[in-house]
Amino acid sequence: MPMTSPSYTVTMRVQVPSNPRATQHLVEAVADASALVTGIDMLQSEADSLTVLLTCDCVNTPHVNEVRDRIEMMVGTRVIEISDATLEAHKGGKISVSLKNPLRTRQDLARIYTPGVARVCKKIARDKDYARQYTIKKNTVAVVTDGTAVLGLGDIGPEAALPVMEGKAALFKEFGGVDAWPVCLDTKDTEEIISIVKAIAPVYGGINLEDISAPRCFEIEERLRDELDIPVFHDDQHGTAIVTLAALINALRVVDKKIEDVRIVLSGVGAAGSAIIRLLKLHGATDIIGCGRNGALGPFREEANPHRNWLAQNTNPRGVEGSLKDVLAGADVFIGVSSGNILTGDDIATMADDAIVFAMSNPTPEVDPADAGKHAAIVATGRSDYPNQINNVLVFPGLFKGMLKAGASQIDDEMLRAAAIAVANVVGDDQRNPNYIIPGVFDSRVADNVSAAVATYIKENQ
């Protein structure tokens, strides 16, 4: 059975018969349903019954129902109410606006609002650059989406995308000290999205594009980078690319291989895959084969999509044709940003000695990590319940922190590479091993390392 998860933590208010072993029987019933009990509290005790709060981790919603049914099979027992911890955590949203200065007296009001604020407005009107110094623009990012490629859910619309964008804003604040705000747009029109983002740009010091479907995301980002004087970053592309390169830098150090010598096979040539390939090439990779649904891309075939065609004409130097499984044989590195369970352990066994496997599809990796680990030297996933989690949260908070601090007006690929190296270098030579090639998401050193590297790059190059 799949593992339980804190994303499916529920608290059940349960009434059981009053007897000395009532709670023990309750815990046993939950365990028999393969759920993980994390707490049990007495709520009410009466002569003939007890009311308890039982908290447990489940696998999914059907599993919650199975646990409830198993409990209610006990004689004289009923589940009165079920509370979902994840839904409770989202009630009323996850972020809010707070004041940086007190607002308790008439003097405070006169400075923060009228009449004092007019002096600040006049100063900015004379020179717009003062907006970075005297407004939220100095440390604020817009998290922009149209809700067309949200997580693994696809096109679910702007309202349904909002919880994800709120979560992104929370991560910006917690890990980078950056204020971020969701901007969920009720349009899929490329020109309209570009126009709206340009119109709201004066408020923000940077734009983080999120969960916009390919290929529109490419044009939107390119156009906004050309037409705005603040950095524009599509995290689904470049955040994934940065953290992937960081993990690969350390993985190659562990197996004592050089990036210019290894053969890399990548599954999934959409937004993330394209960005990964470009950044790996910038860092020195010479032999990369990208695979889509129809197998390997290469110079032997023109692709209708211009972005895919660039990949086809600029990768696969040996002109290898065939399916993903065909071209994987003999490869040193596999990177998956596609879909789950497309490979087996036997496929990994065909790779070169000391193979590296990054199976990053979520929630189901391209290959079972345990099966891959039987043959590969290093295995990483996008999941938090396995070692070596490759997670974008290692990147975007520190990246924007550095760009905002330095007052960046643009972003380029060399800056992304500098961020990747900074993430990789958090893991010291004496710490690096097959189970630790990338720092954990709660490692407080990461954002500061990335921020410092980015700010230094900007100072030297912009």
Query: Looking at this protein, which amino acid is placed at residue 297?
Result: L
Among the options 113, 122, 128, 374, which is catalytic?
113
58 contacts: CB under 8 Å, gap ≥ 6:
4, 5, 8, 9, 10, 35, 64, 67
Taking the C-alpha atoms of residue 107 and residue 428, their distance in angstroms, rounded to an integer, is 52
- Is residue 113 annotated as a catalytic residue, yes or no? yes
Catalytic residue among 137, 168, 401, 405: 168
Instruction: Write out the catalytic residue numbers.
Output: 113, 168
